């Protein structure tokens, strides 16, 4: 008897649009949601950025539906455009979840 194995399921991914749609649904299921931060956390973040003295910091931020973390020295803080640069990453103030001095 001939076993069909994966041939049996091949028609379910035969349409390109369907394949893209299924991939998008899987990505949305795995995506993290932007956590809400309190006024106290915002005040702490602002205080650390205002008093920054070239210390090494760990920044937890939200980008591309993923919560990410980076450690290092902040090379640029632009208060007018509301972003900072650490290493080669540009991080918007609105995406910062937490900052810790190390």
Query: Per the domain annotation, does 54 fall within a domain?
Result: yes
Query: Per the domain annotation, does 94 fall within a domain?
Result: yes
User: What is the domain extent for residue 53?
Assistant: 39-101
Query: Per the domain annotation, does 13 fall within a domain?
Result: no
Query: Per the domain annotation, does 66 fall within a domain?
Result: yes
Query: Per the domain annotation, does 46 fall within a domain?
Result: yes
Identify the pLDDT of residue 9: 56
Query: Per the domain annotation, does 9 fall within a domain?
Result: no
pLDDT in tens, 50-96: 999 999 999 999 998 889 999 999 999 999 999 999 989 999 999 99
Phi, psi of 67, deg, nearest 5: -85, 120
Q: Does residue 6 surpass a pLDDT of 80? A: no
Q: What is the pTM of this model?
A: 0.71
pLDDT in tens, 11-38: 555 667 788 888 888 888 877 788 899 9
Q: Name the domain count of the chain.
A: 1
Beta bridge partners of 91: 84
Identify the pLDDT of residue 8: 57
DSSP string, 52-92: --S-EEEEEEEETTEEEEEEEEEEEEETTTTEEEETTEEEE
Domain containing residue 89: CATH number: 2.30.30
Identify the pLDDT of residue 65: 83
């Amino acid at each position: 008897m001939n076993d069909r194995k994966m041939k049996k399921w091949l028609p379910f991914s035969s349409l390109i649009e369907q394949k893209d749609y299924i991939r998008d649904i899987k990505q949305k299921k795995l995506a993290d949601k932007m956590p809400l931060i309190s006024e106290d956390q915002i005040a702490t973040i602002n205080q650390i950025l205002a008093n920054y003295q070239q210390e090494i910091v760990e920044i937890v931020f939200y980008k591309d539906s993923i919560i990410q973390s980076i450690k290092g020295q902040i090379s640029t803080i632009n208060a007018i455009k509301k972003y900072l640069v650490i290493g080669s990453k540009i991080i918007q103030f609105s995406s910062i979840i937490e900052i810790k001095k190390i």
